[in-house]
């Protein structure tokens, strides 16, 4: 077996052990890391800043939302869905997707916009303006992407890996969110 496959397997086994011991911490770290990566991708590839000129304070703020709020919230949410809706089957997966998109997505996105605005030092009036400007558009875009991802996630992926799958896909989503939530700031 090639050495790289063995190393990857060892890394995954370490990840599994850590995930079993400290699921909230591991998922907070992976969510924060991927949100920060999404912000850096937004700054360098979409906003065309050089890596050296990136706003690292902005990246840390965006990342902290994932670490303090996103990862733990997703872990709790998926656990609740698993406990109250079920864990296997097509009907269960479809129910979870419906509840996730009807309850969690709109709520999470609202608090994400409020949290990002607060971390950016915006007044409540500016945060409210950002919500009025971006919320519906972000929510609509969410509905184009996430129901499909969540069907796969809830039907095929074991509970302990659901946040990881979502965050892997969310790297692209986080890039979009970073761009969208900083767009008005960029044009000023």
Residue-wise pLDDT tens digits, 55-101: 999 999 999 999 999 999 999 999 999 999 999 999 999 999 999 99
- pTM of the predicted structure, to 2 decimals: 0.86
Domain with 166 in it = 1-181
Within-domain flag for 77: yes
Q: Output the pLDDT for position 168.
A: 86
178 Cβ contact list (under 8 Å, min separation 6)? 35, 38, 39, 41, 42, 43, 62
Within-domain flag for 167: yes
Within-domain flag for 87: yes
Q: Mean pLDDT in runs of 10 for the chain (188 residues)?
A: 77 90 92 95 95 96 94 93 94 97 97 93 94 95 96 93 87 92 66
Q: Output the pLDDT for position 46.
A: 94
Q: Output the pLDDT for position 184.
A: 59
Within-domain flag for 53: yes
- For the chain, the domain total comes to 1
Within-domain flag for 186: no
User: Alpha-carbon distance 95 to 98, whole Å?
Assistant: 5
Within-domain flag for 188: no
User: Alpha-carbon distance 13 to 142, whole Å?
Assistant: 32
Within-domain flag for 32: yes
Within-domain flag for 139: yes
User: Alpha-carbon distance 113 to 126, whole Å?
Assistant: 11
Q: Output the pLDDT for position 187.
A: 53
């Amino acid at each position: 077996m090639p050495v790289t496959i063995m190393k990857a397997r060892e890394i995954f086994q370490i990840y599994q052990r850590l995930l079993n011991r400290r699921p909230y911490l591991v998922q907070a770290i992976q969510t924060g890391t991927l949100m920060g990566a999404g912000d850096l991708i937004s700054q360098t590839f979409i906003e065309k800043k050089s890596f050296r000129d990136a706003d690292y304070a902005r990246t840390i703020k965006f990342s902290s939302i994932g670490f303090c709020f996103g990862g733990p919230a997703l872990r709790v949410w998926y656990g609740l869905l698993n406990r109250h809706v079920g864990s296997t089957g097509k009907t269960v997966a479809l129910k979870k997707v419906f509840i996730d998109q009807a309850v969690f997505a709109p709520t999470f996105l609202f608090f994400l916009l409020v949290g990002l605005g607060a971390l950016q030092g915006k007044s409540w009036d500016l945060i409210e303006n950002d919500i009025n400007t971006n919320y519906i558009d972000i929510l609509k875009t969410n509905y184009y992407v996430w129901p499909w991802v969540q069907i796969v996630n809830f039907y095929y992926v074991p509970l302990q890996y659901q946040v990881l799958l979502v965050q892997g896909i969310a790297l692209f989503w986080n890039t979009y969110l970073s761009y969208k939530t900083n767009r008005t700031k960029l044009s000023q």
